[in-house]
């Protein structure tokens, strides 16, 4: 069996856009006209958010927080906040420190934000994103003249060579984003763990521009030492406790603040929000071994020769630490040393079973899918999230997906006949695939890639 991870990492999962878009009712938007022709949000199997179902403000403190927060919101955002309360999401406490969505929104509203960021804008973006995560996008904005000198100075800092400086000056105009993995993880966090999403939003937009998270080492590897190796290999700041857990510090790269400031004052339609910038920059930092640059959308790192996007192994690690869940990246396509798609590791019925089982368990599934030329050579790849499924009248399965790179703020549909042959890998719980496919543990995969990269550099 060809180790596809060692080949596919030369390709960027960042540019293939979806087709066949449909509109789905947004039950949390507060907009009664949000249904467009297509399917209704209740007509497909989709795991609901894990919420505590508490819909009433019980304590005096909660009521005070709600009232103070409401005063800072415009009419539409206030309506979204009310719907979040009635749906049980606002008082959801599925966060790392057990704080609720309300707690984190209130903290955002009443404490300083990082330089150049708007408290009111961040509140609106956070509430809107939790209400309807399909608005998340990976589309970069342009750099206006008022910020150009600042961006150029930051990007050329330390560049002593005139050639390198010239290249650095021309790298800041990003046309095609490579943050599809990070944007998909952001979507999953907002859709499945709203309190943790709000906690990240508050911490990353605070003056410290960071958030701490305690994770279980067993969710990275069976052996604590292997987990520690992974944490150190990815260079994420960490404090090891009792060999059962570690406290990690998540933060965006140093240039993310410039991109966030630009999107605060000069955001155009279909572009990222400042919150998107901070989230995606942070997750790119994690996956790229703290080597990402928000100004250029490029990275370095020890596992990848390509300077855009994240490879499959990096994506799996990032998902695992952000969600504090054990994730396995299951490779379905077989690719030769020339990046030619030559077959599959399992049949499509088994692949379909894996995906549907995960969805029925309440998991969204982030997948990487490929695009090939007429000779079956892989020329591109992209990450999207499967959020549910339905069956057409003819009995054909249709996957409901989110794509952060299609400029469509709604779910999209893919028929099984279209999507399954294109699926290269999927992040799944081990229990789903254990009887069908042998999967290399994440830390072993990483060590193999690291050794291979070192040998090439020698």
Confidence of residue 435 (pLDDT cuts 50, 70, 90): confident
| Span 161-184, pLDDT tens digits | 655 666 666 789 998 999 999 999
- Cα angle 450, 455, 456; round to 5: 100
Q: What is residue 168's predicted lDDT score, i.e. its pLDDT?
A: 67
Q: Residues 370-408, buried b or exposed e (16+ Cβ, 10 A)?
A: bebeeeeebeebbbbbbbbbeeeeeeebbbbbbbbbbeb
Summarised one tens digit per residue, pLDDT across range 341-357 is 999 999 999 999 999 99
* Residues 409-429: tens digit of each pLDDT: 999 999 999 999 999 999 998
DSSP string, 409-447: -S-EEEEHHHHGGGEEEEEE-HHHHTTT-----HHHHHH
Statement: residue 37 has pLDDT above 60: no
Helical axes 256-265 vs 145-156, angle rounded to 10°: 180
Cβ 339 vs Cβ 377: under 8 Å? yes
φ, ψ of residue 281 in degrees (nearest 5) = -65, -40
> Burial level of 281, CB count in 10 A (0-12/13-18/19+)?
buried
Which of the pair, 382 or 27, is modelled with greater confidence? 382
Q: Beta-strand (E) ranges in 336-396?
A: 341-344, 365-372, 378-391
The residue with greater pLDDT, 44 or 157, is 157
d(CA 250, CA 262): 22
Q: Which of 7-21, 99-113, 217-231 has the lowest mean pLDDT?
A: 7-21
Cα–Cα–Cα angle for 250, 254, 260, rounded to 5 degrees: 90
Tokens standing for residue 288:
């790229």
Please tell me the predicted confidence (pLDDT) of residue 5: 32
pLDDT greater than 80 at residue 51 = no
Q: Is the pLDDT of residue 224 over 90?
A: yes
d(CA 242, CA 244): 5
What pLDDT is attached to residue 52?
Answer: 52
Paired with 340 in beta bridges are 377
- 7-15 mean pLDDT: 35
Band the pLDDT of 283: cuts 50, 70, 90.
very high
Q: Which helix (H) or strand (E) holds 24?
A: strand 23-24
Structure tokens at 333: 């396509």
Mean pLDDT taken over the chain: 86
Cα–Cα dist 418/336, whole Å: 22
| Residue 392 CA: distances (Å) to CA of 95, 186, 406, 410 | 37, 30, 24, 19
Give the residues across from 344 on adjacent strands. 333
Q: How confident is the model at residue 43 (pLDDT cuts 50, 70, 90)?
A: very low
Single pTM value for the model: 0.88
* Angstrom distance (rounded) from CA 303 to CA 288: 8
Give burial (CB, 10 Å; 0-12/13-18/19+) of 200.
buried
């Amino acid at each position: 069996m060809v180790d596809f991870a060692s080949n596919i990492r030369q390709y960027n999962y960042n540019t293939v856009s979806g087709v066949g878009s449909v509109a789905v009712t947004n039950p949390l938007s507060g907009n009664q006209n949000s249904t467009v022709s297509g399917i209704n949000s209740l007509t497909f199997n989709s795991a609901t958010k894990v919420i505590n179902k508490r819909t009433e403000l019980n304590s005096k403190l909660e009521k005070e927080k709600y009232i103070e927060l409401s005063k800072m919101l415009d009419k539409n955002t206030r309506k979204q906040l009310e719907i979040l309360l009635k749906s049980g999401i606002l008082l959801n406490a599925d966060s790392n420190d057990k704080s609720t969505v309300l707690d984190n929104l209130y903290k955002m509203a009443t404490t300083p934000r990082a330089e150049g960021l708007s408290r009111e804008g961040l509140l609106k973006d956070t509430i809107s994103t939790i209400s309807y995560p399909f608005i998340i996008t990976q589309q970069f904005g342009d750099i206006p003249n008022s910020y150009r000198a600042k961006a150029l100075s930051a990007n050329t800092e330390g560049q002593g060579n005139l050639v390198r400086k010239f290249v650095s000056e021309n790298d800041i105009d990003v046309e095609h984003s490579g943050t599809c993995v990070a944007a998909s993880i952001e979507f999953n966090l907002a859709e499945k763990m709203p309190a943790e999403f709000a906690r990240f939003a508050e911490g990353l937009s605070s003056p410290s521009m960071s958030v701490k998270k305690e994770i279980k080492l067993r969710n990275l590897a069976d052996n604590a030492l292997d987990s520690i190796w992974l944490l150190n290999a990815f260079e994420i700041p960490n404090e090891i406790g009792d060999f059962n857990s570690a406290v990690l510090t998540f933060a965006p790269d140093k240039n993310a603040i410039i991109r966030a400031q630009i999107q605060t004052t000069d955001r155009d339609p279909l572009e990222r929000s400042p919150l998107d910038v901070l989230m995606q920059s942070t997750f790119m930092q994690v996956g790229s071994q703290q080597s990402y640059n928000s100004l250029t959308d490029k990275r370095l790192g020890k596992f990848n020769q390509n300077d855009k996007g994240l490879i499959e192994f990096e994506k799996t690690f990032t998902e695992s630490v952000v969600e504090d869940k054990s994730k396995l990246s299951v490779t379905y396509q077989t690719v030769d040393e020339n990046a030619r798609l030559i077959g599959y590791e399992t049949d499509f019925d088994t692949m379909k079973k894996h995906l549907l089982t995960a969805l029925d368990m309440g998991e969204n599934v982030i997948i990487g899918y490929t695009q090939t030329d007429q000779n079956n050579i892989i020329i591109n790849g992209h990450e999207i999230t499967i959020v549910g499924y339905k069956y057409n009248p003819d009995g054909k399965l249709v996957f409901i997906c989110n794509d952060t790179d299609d400029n469509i703020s709604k779910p999209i549909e893919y028929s099984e006949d279209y999507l399954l042959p294109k699926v290269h890998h999927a992040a799944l719980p081990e229990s789903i695939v254990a009887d069908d496919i042998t999967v290399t543990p994440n830390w072993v995969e990483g060590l193999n890639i690291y050794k291979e990269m070192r040998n090439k550099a020698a």
